[in-house]
Amino acid sequence: MPKVVPEYTDKARERILEAAEQVFSKKGYYETRMEDIAEVLGVSKRTLYLYYKNKEELFKAMCADAPSAIRQKLRSCLDGKESDDACGAFFDLSMEQPPNGLEFEIIAAASRNQALRKIEKDLFESELAVVSQFLQEMKRRGAVSRDFDAPRMARVLLAVYRGLMVDLLMGVKKSEVRQAWIDATRLVLNKK
């Protein structure tokens, strides 16, 4: 029997996560079955269970990349831009994958499902740490005042961002939501 090399395993996990994101986004968390993901991949459900023991573990793995994606977006937006331009650029990058309601479904489900609550809480704490580190960096560069409370303001920015994503889901024009994001970040960063 041929030996399975780590590169194959990593590539297989990557493909599974891509398929999972596609199916979860389309069907929602509760309507998604492991069979649905296997079907997209053209493999058996049993094959998925070689990599992930259940749907919750697969969903958790899918969420694990979100903080690094946010970090990458923040870094690419900061390079040489004024804060309004950087905030607008961050919003535009975020809209490359507009909200589909899955995150809000998970938040609602987390009120009744302990495992999902832990996944969502861990994800939020990771995102909070990334945004807080970014704001600390802005503080070091002198882009915000010395007394700026980066951890607290990171929480505010994430709350505003999530709220504005609800606006998008409810049909508010993207241009209006974008401007509200820029206005909110300007206030939080204490920019005129």
Residues 21-57: pLDDT tens digits? 899 989 989 999 999 999 999 999 999 999 999 999 9
CATH among 3.40.309.10, 3.40.50.920, 1.10.10.60, 2.30.29.30 for 6-62: 1.10.10.60
58-76 burial, b for 16+ CB within 10 Å, e for fewer?
bbbbbbeeebeebbebbee
pTM attached to this predicted model: 0.80
pLDDT-based confidence at residue 109 (cuts at 50, 70, 90)? confident
Q: Measured between alpha carbons, how far is 147 from 135 in angstroms, rounded to an integer?
A: 12
Average pLDDT, the chain: 86
The percentage of residues in the chain with a pLDDT greater than 90, rounded to a whole number, is 42
Q: Helix-strand-coil percent breakdown of the chain, rounded to 5? A: 75, 0, 25
Query: Which one is predicted more confidently, 80 or 127?
Result: 127
Is 65-188 a CATH 1.10.357.10 domain? Answer: yes
Domain residue spans in the chain?
Answer: 6-62, 65-188
Q: What is the pLDDT of residue 173?
A: 95
**6-62 and 65-188, same CATH topology:** no
